Amino acid sequence: GTKTFTMLKPDAISKGYIGDILKQITGSGFKIVALKMTHMTTNDAKAFYEVHKERPFYGELVDYMTSGPVVSAILEKENAVDDFRTLIGATNPDEAAEGTIRKNYATSISENAIHGSDSDENATIESNFHFAGREQF
Ligand code: GTP
Ligand code: MG
């Protein structure tokens, strides 16, 4: 299969949802091929979300993503990137479809529980940002 990258965000971790979210991910046909918990530094979060640096919420996003640990993972499935974006739902949980991870676990558009890569190219870039080569298999 193809791969995508995900992070369970600090609000999901602090609310105790790691197990439930990973269960929904694997129950939806994704295989976990890499997994760890880390606490990003401000520079890490700025670099990870650099594409959003001109957006008005960039500072808030960096503060949020460094407010606690994240769980990052590489997932494998046929059509992984698109199927995972479908599984997590819209950025704003109020607009997310019933049964999606953001509908089930997100708090708000800013504290929205989970990240999913938006292209195969970004999945590779983001996986390499979070995992050394020997951690990816
Ligand atoms: P990711 O999977 O995390 O990349 O989310 P996304 O692709 O659904 O959304 P996008 O890449 O556009 O935005 C990245 C993240 O910035 C979102 O997941 C939110 O955490 C945050 N964000 C997006 N829009 C807003 C906003 O209008 N206000 C605030 N405060 N945060 C936002
Ligand atoms: Mg995005």
* 99-121 pLDDT tens trace: 999 999 999 999 999 999 999 99
Distance, CA of 39 to CA of 87 (rounded, Å): 25
* Coil, strand or helix at 115: strand
**pLDDT value at 137 more than 90:** no
Whether 18 maps to a domain, the answer reads yes
Whether 101 maps to a domain, the answer reads yes
Helix (H) or strand (E) holding 80: helix 80-88
Whether 137 maps to a domain, the answer reads no
In this prediction, residues 94-100 reach a mean pLDDT of 98
Distance, CA of 25 to CA of 81 (rounded, Å): 13
Determine whether 130 is an active site residue: no
For ligand 1, atom 13, name the residue with the nearest CA: 91
Which range marks the domain in which residue 106 is found? 2-132
Whether 122 maps to a domain, the answer reads yes
Residue 47 is part of a domain; what is its CATH number? 3.30.70.141
Complex ipTM above 0.90?
A: yes
The pocket of ion ligand 2, defined by CB under 5 A, consists of 118
The number of folded domains in the chain is 1
Whether 77 maps to a domain, the answer reads yes
Out of 39, 52, 115, 130, pick the active-site residue: 115
Full-model pTM: 0.97
Q: Which ligand is nearest to the CA of 60?
A: 1
Whether 8 maps to a domain, the answer reads yes
For ligand 1, atom 22, name the residue with the nearest CA: 110
Distance, CA of 87 to CA of 77 (rounded, Å): 12
